[in-house]
Chain A
Amino acid sequence: MTGGGTAHLRSGQDILLRVQDLEVSFGSGPHRVQAVSGISFDVAPGETLGVVGESGCGKSTTGRAVAQVHRPDAGTVRFDGTELTTLGSRELRQARTKVQMIFQDPISSLNPRRRILDIVSEPLAIWGLGTKEERHRKAATMLEAVGIDPAQAGGRRPTEFSGGQCQRISIARALILEPKLLICDEPVSALDVSVQAQILNLLQDLKEERAITMVFIAHDLAVVKNVSDRVAVMYLGKLCELTTPDALYRQPAHPYSEALLASIPEPVPGSERGHTGLTGDLPSPIDPPSGCRFRTRCPYAQELCAREEPPMAEVAPGQFAACHFPLVKPGQVLPEPGPAPEPPRPVL
């Protein structure tokens, strides 16, 4: 299976989240879409796992299935010693206080008719924590931590804020219950580049201050590289590659990772890398290709790829890829990273 197998899962006790053979599908009968087809990954405490892929690859569904927003059809989600998939709704609500999400569209994820202070303190109100004054005080501290002035903003409504500010408010709401795991579903893709940098820096600071573990879902590899400790590349409901961001950039092992990297425009004239000839669109997940799902767009595809699904295998220490013909051969020594590339302008 592309992304099947569990060779990339770490043994050892110190794992906060372990997802195994996760399957999620929507609809029924001939229109049944399997959005996630058996993926496995794990996240250690304090780690950020980046999940990248094109739209329709199942990355958002994966994030939602971890938080049990969509109940998976099969597979296990073990979080902090608890198996989430078998929990009843009451226990699940309790467990979810430790797993929070922030979403792509910051404006539509806040109720336009409510005041900011009420929005941010609502999770506390739901759990009946503290008096109203205490809740509001805590919400104000949280707003301050995300760079919003509570005295000025607390009484206003979401429509009076920009996208970047709304995303800060969403982050405050997600963090007020002090979750262990934060699932970020494309948190910056609707924002301008300048604001995007502000939000990414904020997430990084909060993560360090509060020792939060993150699953960061995005389609922009440069953004994912900036925030992640490990990166999972997804294609059509399956995992292609799982490795550190620096290894992925230096030497992608899966042809799809290579193609993704090559298509990112770099803001440096003359930097255009050779086109890898990734043509066409994602095939339909209703009727995915046999064997390796990427073979229909893969420049290296062979007859074997149509017959058999490649399992995840370690191609280099800490680098796992699901490909019959990985670009990094097992046992091959990777070139050491050279000196850091010169920035276009000297940094002051």
Chain B
Amino acid sequence: MKKLTIKLSILAIATAFITSCNPFEIDEIQDPNNPSVGSVSNNASKEQIQFLITGLESRHRGYVSNVTRAWGTFGREIWNLNASDPRNQTDWLGQNGRVPDRSYFGFGNTGGGSWATPYQAIKQADVLIVAGENTENITTASKSAAVGFAKTIQGYQFMIPANWVYSNGIRVDVKDALNPGPFVSYTAALDAIKVILDEGDQALQAAGSGDFPFTLTSGFDNFKTLGKLRQINRAISARLNAYRKDWSGVLTALDGSFMELNGDLNAGPTHPYGAAPDVFNPIYYLPNAPVNSIIVVHPSMLDDATPNDKRVAEKFFKRDEPVLVTTDAGSLVGQYQDGRWKSNTDPIPYIRNEELILLKAEAHAQLDQSTEAIQAINIIRNAAGIGSYTGSSSKEALIDEILYQRRYSLWAEPWGHRWIDARRYDRLNEIDTSYDKGTIFTEFPHPQAELSWDEYKGD
């Protein structure tokens, strides 16, 4: 009897112990590592808006490595030599008849740096816009400034997927993740981008004057006022209008931009890079680095160079030892590497005064204003130390000249200018494939994930 009492007491104590800790209670575990997107959707603080703006700057540079390497390869500005993965050669150069498919090397099912990444910047800008609209913690002018900044970046980023898939068209209505809009043609997409950029410009204008009310990185050094940001917006519009073949629109936009005919050709905003916790310049390589995974200058750039072109001397660094990569499609040898960067923390410019002057030249040439066109061309030529233009002033000759100058002035900038330029003038077949026996791609199909989504929604 006594023993049973002891046993029952022990059980009772045990039961009480178990009940007191309540082992059935499960906490709702909040994300211990990150804040949630939901935390900014309603009445975000000024600091939270600031974090989203800086986040947008970060998303804004996401495309740089992929676009520079891949599009640069497509336009044979460079070879992205990589002994560790031969597909950087075989697939990107279209060797042995390879053509882009929906999950091509380097782009995957989502289109990677040429599709998903720019759209992530667009999404980030949308979240910023919504967060700005739904908060009482910043002034109306600040809201307008944030919207203007967001839409300016969106305009720039939308052009990346549009140029990648070109005639296949892109989605421009992408605000609702579960209900994206239809694909629209390249022309329609560019028109939609124009609207976004114009809205951005108006919003910046509506925000008043003076400094942009949020902190920007050194990437916007010299562009931190509302007025200067509008100049960036207009510069991007000028590039867009050239793609839209709206030549007078190019000139109008340039008027509002930071173009300065006698100014520093390098003036313009940049993507900043730095040591951790930032990331390094993703296309920097140490001079003469004894590696065989490195961006090298495409040999045609040297073959076609004008003697004494300062751009060749400044941008192309001749290695002591060439870089050799062999694949099942043969071997490629690179003698020159990218000489533009002094260190791995150098910022990468993405739209410069030099490009704006070349756009001016192109627009004038297209509008048969050869004098103004040649004037602009000569600014570039003289800066490169190759003397003034002496060729024909026919439109065709001037366009030839401008495209040639663009190859050297805008070489390997994070845009793939040569590939896009050759395509918009229907000159893809002029790109030199004699070294790699590859193919010049015109465009990419939509990435597989887009197709899959439409299929899923169709069910």
Task: Note whether A and B form a binding pair.
Answer: no
- B residues apposed to A, CB below 8 Å: none
